[in-house]
A and B are shown apart, each in its own frame.
Chain A
Amino acid sequence: MLIQLCTPQGVGTKKVNSKRPVNLDIATIKLPLPAYTSLLHRISGIALFVGVAFLLYGLDMSLSSEQSFAELKAVLTGGFAKFVVWVLLSGLIYHFVAGVKHLLMDVGIGEGKESGKTGAIVTIAISAVLIVFAGVWIW
């Protein structure tokens, strides 16, 4: 949300004065922590969008037959496969936690400057703990 606010698109107003300076160019200003958690929310979203293809492939294998189910299970015991699953799960966990924070902000919780920073710290902390747990569960 913060990134969106910081990114004036000038839609509809662009023609009025195209020389109008953009004062909130995110590439040139120092971003606060909530901006980075928001950015990470977007990056994890892109990763998950691509990851859905792998999840569907896995779901297809797991449901096609007993044999392909066993094949998938065998593939998922490999070290690299486990790492990929962990990265995907980490993205899902982060996107989930940051999304819940987003919904809380929608109902007015943690919208302020200070509470927003606290929310960002809590988002990172909860995600980190869950991501470690996910790693323990996988390996």
Chain B
Amino acid sequence: MVKNITNLSRSGLYDWMLQRVSAIILAAYTVFIGGFLLTTPDLGYEQWSGLFEQTWVRIFTLLTLLSIAAHSWIGMWTITTDYLNSRALGGKSVLIRFPVQLICFVAVFSYVVWGIQILWGQ
């Protein structure tokens, strides 16, 4: 019987893979931005905004945002189903778990829309 209907892809295997692919993208972006900040002392507005005016940086940033969305959703889903379950909270655990997952979803969705607005709405 199917009992878990809140996971991202309806397939544990696909969630597993998506978690790793998004992790690699997030790691690459972390190294990219970290490397830029470390190698650019006295960073000014011109240089910084110039970086984010480049199309490939915007694409990379949006890809990162979408990776954050998938990665954090799968992660928060895993955590909520591991700890906010009926073993920990009893038979009505869904009444706590589902609202928490809903908050996570709204946050994830807001991050993506907000990020797009920052990147293209200036």
Q: Tell me the A residues contacting B by CB distance below 8 Å.
A: 3-4, 7, 9-12, 14-15, 22, 25, 42, 45-46, 48-49, 52-53, 56, 59-60, 62-64, 66, 69-70, 92, 96, 99-100, 102-103, 106, 137
Contacts and interface: CB of A to CB of B under 8 A. Distances in A.
**Interface residues of chain A: helix, strand, loop or mixed (majority):** helix
B82 A3 contact: yes
Contacts of A99: 23, 27
A53 to B, nearest CB: 7
Interface in B68-122: 68, 72, 75-76, 78-79, 81-82, 85-87, 104, 107, 111, 114-115, 118, 122
Contacts, number: 70
B76 A49 contact: yes
A39 to B, nearest CB: 10
Given A53-B111, A96-B27, A12 B49 contact: no
Contacts of A63: 48-49, 52, 118, 122
Interface residues of B toward A: which range?
20 to 34
Chain B contact surface mostly = helix
A64 B75 contact: no
